[in-house]
Amino acid sequence: MSENALQFLLDRQSVKFVRAPGPDERQLALILQAGMSAPDHGRLRPWRFSLIRQDVMREFVDRLFATAQASETPIPAQKEDNARRWLKDVPLLIAVACHRDHSVTKIPEHERMLAVGAATMNMLNAAHMLGFGAFWSTGLGTYIDEVNEMLGFDPLDYRFMGYLAVGTPIDEILPLTRPDPRQYVKEYRS
């Protein structure tokens, strides 16, 4: 493995504030293909994605907050204002869901969710490697059934897992100081 490729992984960080340009169709296909390369017990391919592009972002945001406000779990006005300011410049949101597929009982749902998480991480890494910033948000009504339905993810068949915002970083990305991994590792001994 090339140490340069590994350095891309070590340098990746979440970048919430992005603007156009976002990925073109070829780059988006690569990002989505990276998601398809995730580990997947049983080859269930539980990941499902819905693309929300900049040309429909305002309409989407209006509908999202109208739907959330009519639900049992409305979003506070300050959070809505912050989200609207954030999303006005985002060129691409990728809504992420896990297909539950109740006909498969051999593989537990949590393993399917792990596969979707791995697919999402692959997509974050791919976006980074292509020079984009990306951010996984579990806000924006992720846990409101009516918002899930609005996106086409019926809560009986899907577990909605949030959005990836993808675009060109607005601010300079400064290196992060990462913790020493040894703080989080122990050795098994018999």
In a domain, 190, yes or no: no
In a domain, 4, yes or no: no
Asked whether 147 and 177 are in contact (CB, 8 A), the reply is no
- Write the pLDDT tens digit of every residue in 49-61: 999 999 999 999 9
20/160 Cα distance (integer angstroms) = 26
In a domain, 1, yes or no: no
Tokens representing residue 58 in the block: 């305002």
For 109, the domain range is 12-184
99: part of which helix (H) or strand (E)? strand 92-99
- In sequence order, the 6+-apart residues with CB closer than 8 A to the CB of 120 are 35, 47, 96, 136, 161, 164
- What percentage of the chain carries pLDDT values higher than 70? 99
Whole-number pLDDT of residue 4:
82
Q: Is-above-0.85 flag for pTM?
A: yes
In a domain, 154, yes or no: yes
- What percentage of the chain carries pLDDT values higher than 90? 74
**Termini Cα distance of the chain:** 33
Q: Which residues pair with 27 in a beta bridge?
A: none
- Write the pLDDT tens digit of every residue in 133-144: 999 999 888 898
In a domain, 6, yes or no: no
Better-predicted residue by pLDDT, 77 or 121: 121
Asked whether 126 and 34 are in contact (CB, 8 A), the reply is yes
The domain total for the chain is 1
Whole-number pLDDT of residue 72:
86
The conformational region for residue 165 under phi > 0 = left, psi -120 to 50 = alpha, else beta, is beta
Mean per-residue pLDDT, 155-172: 95
Residue 180 belongs to domain with CATH number = 3.40.109.10
DSSP 122-178: HHHHHHHHTT-EEEEE--TTTT-HHHHHHTT--TTTEEEEEEEEEEEESS--PPPPP
Q: How confident is the model at residue 1 (pLDDT cuts 50, 70, 90)?
A: low
- Write the pLDDT tens digit of every residue in 105-115: 788 889 999 99
In a domain, 189, yes or no: no
49/31 Cα distance (integer angstroms) = 12
In a domain, 3, yes or no: no
In a domain, 149, yes or no: yes
164/49 Cα distance (integer angstroms) = 10
